């Protein structure tokens, strides 16, 4: 595994290309947002483009750019979860198609979005491809952190860290969580205020770190279950906290705060989240991440939001007590 920190992933790819050092696999780390997806699609088109230049952008005019933009290029594959997970059938289908040389372009690009959602069988199948990559094939994986994937997959990738500032523009503030939430679900922006998102986050963090759960429980439950939009925002906020906890559990230490805090979305609450991370482990987070996905699915099936909120908070209390 080679880890790269740079503010412009485009320059990383272009430099590797010019030096004929393009890796067979890249793992792009950062918040899973629409901006990140657009960036990875652009990077994919960049490697397919006939007219790569110093502007570090695909020309948008050649046949490869036009086809890849419409996702109709025979040498460009995009995989994302089928339902909750990326399944082994999806990886096997990809493997069957990439054993042959590229059909039209000089190289083939396989973009795997939300790779943290690979199920166990799919992850093991992908590992075999990474161990013996086909010639002229390059795989892009997207994940929030290295800990979301098998260590053996991470070790076979060049890891590129994308800071939140790059995804949200130069004026992005890490503690402006409402901007992140609205970018993940634009439909919420007209239905819930930024200050309501911040109030939800404060109440949720107070609940997570509190030793007296009863009062904090009712406060966060009332806010989360006030509307379907509020509960959707609540789930998204919870996901950002789980992501931050993964980072702190596996990489966190007070001496490294300055370094690590740059990758923490809820940086304003670094101390609180850091203390919480000391009481948890990755198995607990994985169980909770699965429960968050289940709640999201049940929300779409119109299950009562107060019931979902209660279920989620009680699930957290139980698993936190199991770790104590």
Largest interatomic CA distance in the chain: 63
Long-range contacts of 117-122 (CB under 8 A, 24+ apart): 117/81, 117/84, 117/85, 117/86, 118/85, 118/86, 118/91, 118/149, 119/85, 119/86, 119/87, 119/88, 121/87, 121/88, 122/85, 122/86, 122/87, 122/88, 122/90, 122/91
Residue 3 has pLDDT above 70, yes or no: no
pLDDT reported for residue 55: 56
pLDDT reported for residue 163: 65
Angle among Cα 118, 112, 27 to the nearest 5 degrees reads 95
Mean pLDDT of the chain: 81
pLDDT reported for residue 279: 83
pTM higher than 0.85: no
Q: How confident is the model at residue 54 (pLDDT cuts 50, 70, 90)?
A: low
Residue 185 has pLDDT above 70, yes or no: no
Provide CB contacts within 8 A for 182, sequence distance 6+. Answer: 188, 189
Taking the domain 2-168, which CATH number applies?
Answer: 3.40.50.300
Provide CB contacts within 8 A for 54, sequence distance 6+. Answer: none
Q: How confident is the model at residue 19 (pLDDT cuts 50, 70, 90)?
A: confident
Residue 255 has pLDDT above 50, yes or no: no
- The answer to whether domain 2-168 and domain 177-323 are alike in fold is no
Mean pLDDT along residues 228-233: 89
Q: What is the CA radius of gyration of the chain?
A: 21
Instruction: Output 54 or 78, whichever has higher pLDDT.
Output: 78
Residue spans of the domains in the chain: they are 2-168, 177-323
Architecture of domain 177-323: Up-down Bundle (1.20)
User: pLDDT tens digits for 60-110?
Assistant: 888 998 898 888 899 999 998 888 889 999 999 999 999 888 999 989 999
């Amino acid at each position: 595994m080679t880890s790269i920190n740079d503010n412009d992933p485009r320059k990383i790819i272009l430099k590797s290309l010019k030096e004929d050092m393009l890796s067979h696999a890249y793992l792009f780390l950062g918040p899973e947002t629409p901006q990140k997806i657009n960036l990875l699609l652009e990077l994919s088109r960049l490697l397919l483009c006939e007219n790569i230049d110093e502007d570090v952008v695909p020309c948008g005019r050649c046949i490869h750019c036009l086809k890849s933009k419409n996702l109709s290029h025979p040498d460009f594959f995009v995989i994302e979860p089928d339902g909750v997970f990326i399944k082994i059938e999806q990886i096997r289908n990809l493997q069957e198609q990439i054993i042959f040389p590229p059909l039209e372009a000089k190289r083939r690009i396989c973009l795997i979005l939300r790779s943290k959602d690979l199920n166990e069988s799919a992850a093991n199948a992908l590992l075999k491809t990474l161990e013996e990559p086909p010639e002229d094939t390059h795989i892009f994986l997207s994940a929030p952190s290295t800990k979301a994937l098998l260590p053996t997959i991470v070790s076979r990738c060049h890891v590129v860290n994308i800071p939140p500032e790059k995804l949200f523009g130069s004026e992005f503030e890490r503690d402006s969580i409402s901007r992140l939430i609205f970018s993940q679900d634009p439909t919420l922006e007209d239905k819930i205020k930024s200050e309501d998102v911040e109030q939800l986050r404060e109440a949720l963090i107070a609940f997570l770190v509190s030793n007296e759960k009863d009062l904090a429980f009712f406060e966060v439950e009332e806010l989360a279950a006030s509307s379907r939009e509020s509960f959707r925002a609540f789930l998204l906020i919870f996901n950002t906290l789980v992501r931050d906890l993964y980072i702190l559990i596996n990489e966190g230490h007070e001496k490294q705060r300055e370094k690590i805090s740059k990758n923490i979305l809820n940086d304003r609450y670094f101390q609180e989240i850091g203390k919480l991370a000391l009481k948890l482990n990755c198995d607990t987070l994985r169980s909770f991440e699965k429960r968050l996905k289940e709640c999201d699915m049940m929300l779409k099936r119109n299950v009562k939001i107060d019931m979902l909120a209660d279920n989620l908070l009680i699930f957290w209390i139980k698993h936190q007590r199991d770790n104590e």
